[in-house]
Amino acid sequence: MRNKRRVATALGIDFNLHHLSAGETTDSVLELVARLNASPGVDAILVQLPLPVLIDPARVIEAVDPGKDADGFHPLNIGRLAEGRPGLALPGTPAGCMELLRHYAVPVSGARAVVIGRSTIVGRPMALLLVNANATVTICHSRTVDLPGICREADILVVAAGRPGMVDSTYVKPGACVIDVGTTLVEGKLCGDVDFDSVRQVAGHLSPVPGGVGPMTIAMLMRNTLALARARRVITD
Ligand code: NAP
């Protein structure tokens, strides 16, 4: 959240953090979201996950006005993404991965892509963005049989399992593009899901942790915020 505030402030975005206190309930958070939805001065709302255990994240995310959904996690916006006609705000981390592919001119159309992880915030929207960009996509998870074999088929391998160092060179086709989404604190150090030193021997492209997908996620959140703000002004001006 510190980095999001820092980047937003540097860009001239008015950033307001609403801290949840210990006694907060789903209903009290829903009231806050309703106030922010109704406020003409608010262009974008981000629900920082995970929420405290007593608060239902699905109800909170669903309560956000889809037109102020900075994360693109509202079911309406995820549904639009699934239909192949995405709204203005795309889920930040997967959008950041797509931007990395675009920036480094990695061919996506027709490529074989494998995503490890099927969470609603990373794995699933990642797969949707890739398939919308005409990749042939396989989603893997903890029950996948022969994970290394499936990963070795990938021209693009996106790893979002939250298992530090689990992907080594035996998972990677020579020349493949490997995007490491994982971020786990191990003895105070931020670790990715990819064994960097092993995979760099075979991969054509490899994103580092830290300094890879993380900053891209924040950049995409800012892009979403700008797009939502512009859209609201077009409607109200
Ligand atoms: P999550 O909700 O815990 O989902 C993890 C996914 O990985 C699940 O689908 C799980 O399968 C799968 N998985 C776990 N262990 C596996 C294994 N051994 N083999 C195959 N699949 C396995 O996590 P998340 O929220 O998607 O986040 C994933 C990672 O990305 C975390 O390290 C998180 O901190 C990081 N992250 C980074 C950013 C960033 O900006 N850089 C943003 C978001 C998340 P099942 O569904 O079968 O359980």
Sole residue written with tokens 């907060």 = 24
Burial class (CB in 10 A: 0-12, 13-18, 19+), 24: middle
For residue 134, the model assigns a pLDDT of: 98
- Tell me how far apart the alpha carbons of residues 176 and 40 are, in angstroms, rounded to a whole number: 46
Length of the chain: 237
For residue 234, the model assigns a pLDDT of: 75
Q: Would you say the CB of residue 207 lies under 6 angstroms from ligand 1?
A: no
Contact yes or no for 108/133 (Cβ under 8 A): yes
Measure 165 CA to ligand 1 centroid, in angstroms. 13
168 is an active site residue: no
Name the average pLDDT for the chain. 96
Residues (pLDDT < 50) of the chain are none
pTM over 0.85: yes
For residue 23, the model assigns a pLDDT of: 86
Domain 92-212 in CATH 3.10.20.740? The answer is no
Contact yes or no for 185/154 (Cβ under 8 A): no
Q: What is the CATH number of domain 2-81+216-236?
A: 3.40.50.10860
Contact yes or no for 216/183 (Cβ under 8 A): no
Positions of CATH 3.40.50.720 in the chain: 92-212
Given the residues 69, 71, 155, 195, the one annotated as active site: 71
Positions of CATH 3.40.50.10860 in the chain: 2-81+216-236
Measure 22 CA to ligand 1 centroid, in angstroms. 27
Measure 39 CA to ligand 1 centroid, in angstroms. 34
140 — phi, psi (to 5°)? -110, 160
For residue 235, the model assigns a pLDDT of: 54
71 is an active site residue: yes
